[in-house]
Structure 1
Amino acid sequence: MIQGVNTDTYFNITIKAVNVLGEATAESFPPTMIKTLPPPPLAPINLRTTSVGPSFIEITWDLVSRAMYYVATITEESTGSSHILENIHGNSTVITRVQVALFYTITITAVGEYESSPPSEILRVQAKFPTPVIRRNFGNSTIRASNVTHSSMVLSVERVDNAVS
């Protein structure tokens, strides 16, 4: 093995046969031209979430040079089960099939022409419960009162999506 050569460089290699006296007796001709490979991409950096919902996690990261595409590895922490998203072009993706309240660890790997980068730093994310939303009812109130007396009333409330109480 020859070590310490420059990356992405051409070398002309010639082999010489040497006898016991140290004399060159034969030489390969013509020289063989060999090009070393370019370095692999660096690990993606600045991995972050841009949006998190009850069934998805959207992530983004900084692009790195020499990356042809990216691979995301998503691991559900409590079970250790993983799934992989391959051939991500660009610097963002949406991860689906996540479950509310579970924690996930995510890494991104850059894939170059010949080699891959080390994985990015780990991003730990929890899929969130949806946010309750009270609709604005112009002309109609969300709350209705009936049987109002000086000491009591009955209230009716419209359903609020995603509310638990």
Structure 2
Amino acid sequence: MNISKEEFEEIIKLAILQISKNKRINFIFSKPWNNKYYFALDIIKNLKINANCIISNELSDYHKNIISNYLIWNEVINLNDDNLDLISENDTFFLDIKLKNIINVILFDEEEYESRLVMKLFEKGNSVYLWKETVKKVTGKEPKNYINKLLGYYDEILSYGVKIVDIEEVNKYE
């Protein structure tokens, strides 16, 4: 079967359109290693969603191998400056973002990869999720001003459209 150049280009355009309709989500595995990542990997594996794995360069090779080989990812991408534009093309789920990064975003400080990435995600209109399992919690024993300040940080980041959720809530990427 012979097809013309124009027909071939039309097929490629349709294929690209179809691929672009398949929404993906990035899962960020930040430094330092958190043993809750094992739990997260189990949950993600059971969801069978269309996901990319973003791994901090500062994790050990041992942990990088666990993450990248635990399940079949669409892509495994290193979290570094060269890849921030690529990563920010998809909605992103932070499995363990540090309070320092949340504060950096609030202050528009691009000191670390995670805060730079969140700002890029905002610029592109993509969603940012934080895993509620790793969000800093209060015991109620802390001083009132400490609790108010901490909750204020989370209130502010939530006002930017960031969502604090369970991993299972991202099943729209199937």
Larger radius of gyration: 1
Same fold at TM > 0.5: no
By relative contact order (CA 8 Å, sep 6+), the higher-ranking structure is 2
* Class of the TM-score when normalised by the shorter of the 2 chains: under 0.3
TM-score under structure 1 length normalisation? 0.24
TM-score normalised by length of structure 2: 0.23
